[in-house]
Amino acid sequence: MSIVFVPKKLRGKAKINQETIQRLLDENDQLIRCISEYMQKGRAGECVQYQQILHRNIVYLATIADASPDTTPSSSTQQTD
């Protein structure tokens, strides 16, 4: 079960840290491998549930990224010597 599936009473209270993000990325890696394997075996219908979990994870990670302050300087603010 994906760590994105959090009970309603705990939503918004989860601590987002590098470990959580890495776990999601690792889970996404496994999901992609599983989906690939099913597709190669011609069992596309059986990988739909994994695609849905992968989609949910990606949307969750994108939401975290959008809500996070930008920590990398943009190229327009960097000084050239």
Domains contained in the chain, number: 1
- Give the separation between CA 24 and CA 20, rounded to whole angstroms: 6
- Please compute the mean of the pLDDT values over residues 74-81 and round it to a whole number: 55
Residue 79 maps to a domain: no
Residue 77 maps to a domain: no
Residue 73 maps to a domain: no
Alpha helices, DSSP H only, in the chain?
A: 18-40, 48-67
Structure-block tokens of residue 67: 């809500």
The model's pTM: 0.69
Which has the closest alpha carbon to 12: 65, 69, 66, 60?
60
Query: Which long-range contacts does 62-69 make (Cβ < 8 Å, 24+ apart)?
Result: 64/16, 64/21
Residue 58 maps to a domain: yes
- Domain extent for 31: 18-67
Q: Which tens digits make up the pLDDT trace of 13-34?
A: 567 789 989 999 999 999 999 9
pLDDT for the residue 66: 86
Residue 53 maps to a domain: yes
Residue 60 maps to a domain: yes
Query: Which long-range contacts does 18-23 make (Cβ < 8 Å, 24+ apart)?
Result: 21/61, 21/64
Residue 1 maps to a domain: no
Residue 56 maps to a domain: yes
